[in-house]
Each structure stands twice: as C-alpha cells, then as structure tokens.
Amino acid sequence: MHSGVGFRAHHSLPEVLQVNNLLGCRIQSGFIVLLASVLLLASSPQAWAAPPLRVCADPNYMPYSNQAGQGFENKVAELMSKALDRPLEYVWSSYRQSGGYDNFLALGLDKGKCDIVMNLPYGDPEEMYTRPYYGSSYVFVYRKSSDYNLSGGLDSPVLKKVKIGYEDNTPPQTGLKMRGLVMRAKVFHTAEKKNTSPDNTLRAVQRRKIDILITWEPAIGYYMKEFPDLTMARVPNTNAMGSPERYSFFMSMAVKPGDNKLKKQLDHVIATHQEQISQIMKQYNVRILK
C-alpha cells in the first residue's frame, strides 16, 4: 500500500476534517505572525531612515571646517542636513592635499564618495553647484594706526610705497602683477600647506613684517577679534587697468555629478533659510554681500 493512500485508510472522515482544520489554523496563525513581523519591521525607524547627507570636508582648516564641527561650513552643513531631515555624515579629506583643491574635488565629490562640498565659487564651469548661499570679497588688512587711503583699490598710490602681502594663486596676485607690484610683495601659501592657519598672515601684519595684507575675508574674519589693532577694508572690483578685475565672489555648494534632485532640494533650503545662514556667517565675522 502506498503511503499516499494510507492516510485515508487509517482515519475516519471527522478525524481528517479535524486535522485539516488544525493545520489550517496553524498556517493562518503563522501567516499572521509573519505579517505582523513584516509590519513591525517596516514601521521601525531603521526601515524608513533617510540616507545620510555625506559632506566632503577638511578635518583641520578653520574657520572653514574641522572634525570638532567648529567651522562655518560645519554649521551650514548641519543646517542643510536638519532641513532635509537627513543625518549628517562627513568624508574627511584635506583641501590642501597634493594636487590642491581641484584634486580634493576630483577624488571625493567627482568619484561619488560624498554628496556635497560646502565651498565652490558660483558659476564654476567644471562642477554642478547650488544657488549661492553667501557672498564675500578680498580685503585689505592693515594696522589701524596707519590709516591708509585705499579708496582706489589696487590702484591706490599708497600700495607703491608699502610692503604688501598676498595669498598665492589668487585674483589679487594677478592684479598686483598687472601693476608691477609683485616683486616687492611677500607671498603666503596658507591654502597650500597643511596645518597652516590663516591667522599667521594677520600676525605678519601685527609684527610689521608687512604693512598691508590682501586676503579672502572669510579666511581671516574669524580671527580678527584676536587682533584688535588691525582693521580691514574691501578690495573693490575695478576696470582701471582695462579688462574687468573681480575681487568679490558668491559661494555655492558643489553637488555630486548628476544629482539634480539634491541640487533642487538644496536650492530650496538655501532660499528659505537665508536668514539663518547669514547669522552663521555673522558669527564668523564675514560680512555678507547682497
């Protein structure tokens, strides 16, 4: 006798029905338990957690950013992640690595290791970028007691008589070259050397190694409170030497290539949180251009 018909041969019909009912109840109960488990998992925070907002940032370049979250780029990144309801995650990499800032972008953002970078001039031809979130300029920094007349910008006559300091590979360097002032000036390499702080350039002014420093305001505004004997004035844009010269810039966030959805989201947050962003920059003594 085949085992397949033995069940019918040894059990009565009521017994068979009772067993079938019991099996059906167990199957139904098991399905309910499975369904409840699936629903519980789906309702857990981990199941629906938003992906992190990954930010490529320098771990030790104040006042921009550091691992302690003390820079203004850290604070703006925190604002973005909160507004987007995405946890903030950093991918640490030095701006001042071999190959410079371009290599920082290429190895991080362009390779998809992060979603955004907090520091990119608006209109950059090689990266996708957001609308500007702040604007600033290059400035003259000098001792208050000197009271220089710098209303003429880089064409101010006093610049031919004093010791000038400037940051390498910047628009002011080009402007000084056009006027034949570079050979008499001192060049700084803050943006190229790791563990070098922008406040070193302010000390050079304070100690009279140079008379006037020309530098990017966001780099030194944070430190100016430590040098009460110094003051600063914006370098105006000028056309005095023929072709337009530009010393003020609007800054954006660089976005991972092809992520148009994130770009639109960031644009919206920037537009609706401009007051909060301005307050952050004010804390770092960066005067916002409108």
> What's the mean pLDDT when you consider all of the chain?
86
**Better-scored residue on pLDDT, 40 or 88:** 88
**pLDDT band at residue 30 under the 50/70/90 scheme:** low
Nearest CA among 190, 193, 170, 198 for reference residue 98: 193
Contact 235, 172 (CB under 8 A): yes
Cis status of the peptide bond prior to 63, with omega within 30 of 0 = yes
What is the number of residues in the chain?
Answer: 290
Kindly tell me if the per-residue pLDDT of 216 is higher than 70: yes
Q: Which residue's structure tokens are 């909060």? A: 276
Q: Residue 91, Cα to own-chain centre: how many angstroms?
A: 11
Q: What is the C-alpha separation between 79 and 39, in angstroms, rounded?
A: 33
pLDDT digits (tens, 9 = 90+) for 164-211: 999 999 999 999 999 999 999 999 999 888 889 999 999 999 999 999
Query: Residue 42's pLDDT is what?
Result: 52
* Delimiting residues of CATH 3.40.190.10 domain(s) in the chain: 53-133+250-280, 135-248
The three-class DSSP label of residue 124 is coil
Q: Is domain 53-133+250-280 annotated with CATH 3.55.10.10?
A: no
Query: Residue 50's pLDDT is what?
Result: 85
Query: Residue 194's pLDDT is what?
Result: 86
% of the chain beyond a pLDDT of 90: 74
- For residue 90, what are the β-bridge partners? 55
Q: What is the C-alpha separation between 250 and 122, in angstroms, rounded?
A: 6
Q: CB-based contacts of 41: which residues, under 8 Å, 6+ apart?
A: 47
Query: Residue 105's pLDDT is what?
Result: 96
Query: Residue 116's pLDDT is what?
Result: 98
Assigned CATH topology for domain 135-248: D-Maltodextrin-Binding Protein; domain 2 (3.40.190)
Kindly tell me if the per-residue pLDDT of 285 is higher than 60: yes
Q: Residue 7, Cα to own-chain centre: how many angstroms?
A: 73
Query: Residue 240's pLDDT is what?
Result: 58
Sign, CA torsion 111/112/113/118: positive
Nearest CA among 200, 210, 190, 202 for reference residue 148: 210
Query: Residue 201's pLDDT is what?
Result: 97
**pLDDT band at residue 31 under the 50/70/90 scheme:** low
Query: Residue 242's pLDDT is what?
Result: 59
Kindly tell me if the per-residue pLDDT of 28 is higher than 90: no
Cβ–Cβ contacts within 10 Å for residue 208, how many?
9
**pLDDT band at residue 43 under the 50/70/90 scheme:** low
Q: What is the C-alpha separation between 114 and 56, in angstroms, rounded?
A: 6
Residue type, 211: D
**Mean pLDDT, range 228-242, rounded to an integer:** 84
Distances (CA, A) of 47 to 32, 35, 39, 74: 20, 16, 10, 28
Query: Residue 49's pLDDT is what?
Result: 78
Kindly tell me if the per-residue pLDDT of 113 is higher than 50: yes
